[in-house]
Amino acid sequence: MKEMPAASANVATSAPLRSSFLVVAVGWLIPGAGHLLLGRRGRGAILFVTILITFAIGIMLHGPLFQPGGAGDVLSRLIQYGGFIGDLAVGLPYLLARWLGYFPPDVAGHNPDYGSKLIVAAGLLNILAMVDAYEINSRQKD
């Protein structure tokens, strides 16, 4: 057998498996789908179920969704924008909830507060899943 030179071996192993944009976009829209595109069915299924259950529990607790903007001091606006990005990061479940008319009022109480935090946690977990899929695709991680 003929051995490959070191330079061409690195090029062959560093080429991405699929389009990085496609992997990240599909992974955002459907949690865990980026891993499915990369052939990581187990990891993709675990992420899908975990993110969906976390989001669903947050919805069942009537957690309000964050709205960008609003009046108030800088810290309040920063919290609102950060929460909105966390909510939006869930992808299709968030868009479906909005489309189906999920707009609970922001009331004081333990359940809505925990629900809101769980919805944002689902989005943050999906961001981690997208980063993981990107790193697997770009062969920075196995």
In a domain, 15, yes or no: no
Residue 27 belongs to a domain? no
Return left, alpha or beta for 69; rule: phi > 0 is left, psi -120 to 50 is alpha, else beta.
Answer: left
Residue 121, in any domain of the structure: yes
User: How far, in Å, CA of 134 to CA of 129, rounded?
Assistant: 9
Q: What mean pLDDT value characterizes the chain?
A: 88
Q: What pTM did the predictor assign?
A: 0.84
Q: Which domain holds residue 67?
A: 47-142
Residue 30: inside a domain, yes or no? no
Tell whether the model's pLDDT for residue 43 goes beyond 60. Answer: yes
142 in a structural domain:
yes
Number of domain units in the chain: 1
- With tokens 């333990």, the residue in question is 110
Does residue 23 sit within a domain?
no
pLDDT at 12 over 80: no
Q: For 64-91, what is each residue's pLDDT tens digit? A: 999 887 778 888 889 899 999 999 999 9
3-state secondary structure 76-93: HHHHHHHHHHHHHCCCHH
Q: Does 62 map to a domain?
A: yes
Whether residue 20 lies inside any domain: the answer is no
- 16: left (phi > 0), else alpha (psi -120 to 50), else beta? beta
